[in-house]
Amino acid sequence: MNVAVDTNVLAYAEGLNGPEKQGAAADLLDRLDRTSRRLPVNVLGELFNVLVRKAKTSPEEARRRVLIWARWGRLLPTNSTSMVKAVELAAEHRLAIWDALILAAAAEAGCRLLLSEDMQDGFAWGGVTVVDPFRAPPSPLLEGAVRS
């Protein structure tokens, strides 16, 4: 099962939002099967921005961290099709355009799950279900996607 990951999960794994959230995010990301990991490319851009602006990381260090994440999973491109779908999704469901683009890229790549704390848990579109990976109890969908 292909699983896409939103920016906030990577940002938590980078230490934004404290050590408890960092440990939970890092553990979760480590438990995802290597062959199922997907990252929309705009997630990497958003992560760079978060690291530089919120975490006050130098651009050079942010670049280094983003390039490490780029090797963590298969990258999902943004293209004209995903952008058009994102605009439609944003208009119909009142999502931020960048969140809609992440969801559209995940759908286009055949992902079953999108792990995000920023979008509505349980929202489904284009065959993708948004799952808050930090909710308790964990979603059965998420439990099916991670190794014990």
Number of domains observed in the structure of the chain: 1
Q: What is the pLDDT of residues 24-64, one digit of tens each?
A: 999 999 999 999 999 999 999 999 999 999 999 999 999 99
pLDDT of res. 146: 87
Beta bridge partners of 146: 32
Question: By residue range, what is the domain housing residue 87?
Answer: 3-145
Backbone angles phi, psi at 72, to 5 degrees: -70, -35
pLDDT of res. 147: 73
Q: What is the pLDDT of residues 70-83, one digit of tens each?
A: 999 999 999 999 99
State the average pLDDT over residues 123-131: 96
DSSP code at position 32: B
| d(C-alpha 42, C-alpha 98), whole Å | 8
Q: Which of 41, 59, 130 is nearest to 93 (CA)?
A: 130
What single letter denotes the amino acid at residue 146? V
With cut-offs at 50, 70 and 90, classify the pLDDT of residue 148.
low
90: domain CATH number?
Answer: 3.40.50.1010
What single letter denotes the amino acid at residue 67? L
State the average pLDDT over residues 109-131: 96
Q: Is 37 helix (H, G, I), strand (E, B) or coil?
A: strand
DSSP calls for 63-76: HHHHHHHHTTSEEE
| d(C-alpha 78, C-alpha 30), whole Å | 25
Q: What is the pLDDT of residues 58-117, one digit of tens each?
A: 999 999 999 999 999 999 999 999 999 999 999 999 999 999 999 999 999 999 999 999
| d(C-alpha 130, C-alpha 141), whole Å | 10
| d(C-alpha 63, C-alpha 67), whole Å | 6
Total-model pTM: 0.94
pLDDT at 1 over 80: yes
pLDDT of res. 30: 95
